[in-house]
Structure 1
């Protein structure tokens, strides 16, 4: 093998290795992707049970039901549609009715959203970006300017 052929084989081997590493990286990241939906968006999107998504909106008033232990059931709404959510775990301190929330998880076979994490806003001026944009697009949420 000549010197030129050795150099070419090293370059080709390096490129194959980089291609395989980047392919595996993109595959792994694609498996962890979760798409954001508002309750009204779910009617148009056909989300199969078990597919991981993020569900955002407002906690519907009067729907928080605490079960045994850390089990909590509530509904997320965008004022057009509501989605029932079941969550087992400790809710954020600022979780309450009519506040912005993002629940991450998947739909069960019965059509109820099973959340494995719930994120709530951290003060009265902040709403999760995806929720705020979705509610603004529907004309439900306006930014309140206070000094």
Structure 2
């Protein structure tokens, strides 16, 4: 194989890798199951400890306290 076809095959393989990586990234971002973010670490015994948890809810979620308050006022 001469230099030019070898160079083109390397470029094509790199482009193919980038296309696959981009497709997997967009697929992962589109999933609705990625439900939370944690700030966490492992303690010295190896146990996973979360300092704070940011949960992701859908647009219809309402905390029970808020729903009860709206029902008590007759708004909902």
| TM-score, with structure 1 as normaliser | 0.27
More strand by share: 1
Q: Which has the higher helix share?
A: 2
Q: With the length of structure 2 as denominator, give the TM-score of the two structures.
A: 0.48
Q: Specify the structure having the higher radius of gyration (Cα).
A: 2
